[in-house]
Amino acid sequence: MNGVHDMGGMDGFGKVEAELNEPTFHEEWESRVLAMVRAMGAAGAFNIDTSRFYRETIPPHVYLSSSYYKKWFLGLEEMLIEKGYLTREEVAAGHAMQPGKALKHGKFDLTQVERIMVRGKFGRPAPAPAKFNIGDRVRAKNIHPATHTRLPRYVRGHVGVVELNHGCHVFPDTAAMEHGEHPQWLYTVVFDGRDLWGEDGDPALKVSIDAFEPYLDPA
């Protein structure tokens, strides 16, 4: 979706302000939100792409004015309601009012913690040979799906060069919508800064994205 989350190339957000000796969390509730998202994801309530999509659908003015973990919280709460893991009545009451829905991987308890300290696996067997080779020129498609995609706006329509092939991976565009993993070849595609940003762009800049094969046409 062409949401406000797709920030690459936007102007007006000001300087990058780094905080010296930044703590891991600024408030205790942030740590609880992080842990709940990780736990419920690991328990099978949602996949990572679905959770990203719910954060992207937060209204733009709320997205821009909310802290990072506030966005995580808003996305998590809405997603769990819509997926049937809790109800709006329960949220309003602050307590469970009916039994829980079965989780694909069961309750998230202490025995589960160790396994989530390593990222999940997203590589999948290839359903078909790769269409592109290293060094091929490719054009990022001019697509504007209203649902989740990982093709940022700032490269759409632009020509780049395939630099790396990462194998076949879960396709976020379908996984986010719970329409299946549909594994796709994943490539690092490099663009010239001036192709993206015009003549005023930095001549020494190259920008790459990791692009799934359905995002690309031969060029």
Q: How far is CA 61 from the centre of its chain?
A: 20
According to the binding rule CB under 8 A, does residue 217 interact with other proteins? no
According to the binding rule CB under 8 A, does residue 162 interact with other proteins? no
Q: How far is the CB of 207 from other proteins (least distance, A)?
A: 5
Return phi, psi of residue 119, to 5°. Answer: -60, 150
Span 122-161, contacts to other proteins by CB under 8 A:
122-123, 150-152, 154
Q: How far is the CB of 42 from other proteins (least distance, A)?
A: 9
Query: By the 8 A CB rule, do 116 and 196 touch?
Result: no
Task: Tell me the three state secondary structure of residue 190.
Answer: strand
Q: Which is nearer to other proteins, 19 or 129 (CB)?
A: 19
Span 173-212, contacts to other proteins by CB under 8 A:
186, 188, 190, 196-197, 201-202, 204-212
Sort 202 into a burial class: Cβ within 10 Å, 0-12 / 13-18 / 19+.
Answer: exposed
Query: For residues 90, 91, 94 and 97, what is the CA-based torsion angle, rounded to 10 degrees?
Result: 10
Span 84-123, contacts to other proteins by CB under 8 A:
85-86, 90-91, 94-96, 99-100, 103, 107-110, 112-113, 116-123
Q: How far apart are CA 85 and CA 89, in angstroms?
A: 12
Q: How far is the CB of 9 from other proteins (least distance, A)?
A: 5
Residue from 62, 68, 142, 144 binding other proteins (CB under 8 A): 68
Q: How far apart are CA 150 and CA 141, in angstroms?
A: 12
Q: Which is nearer to other proteins, 178 or 210 (CB)?
A: 210
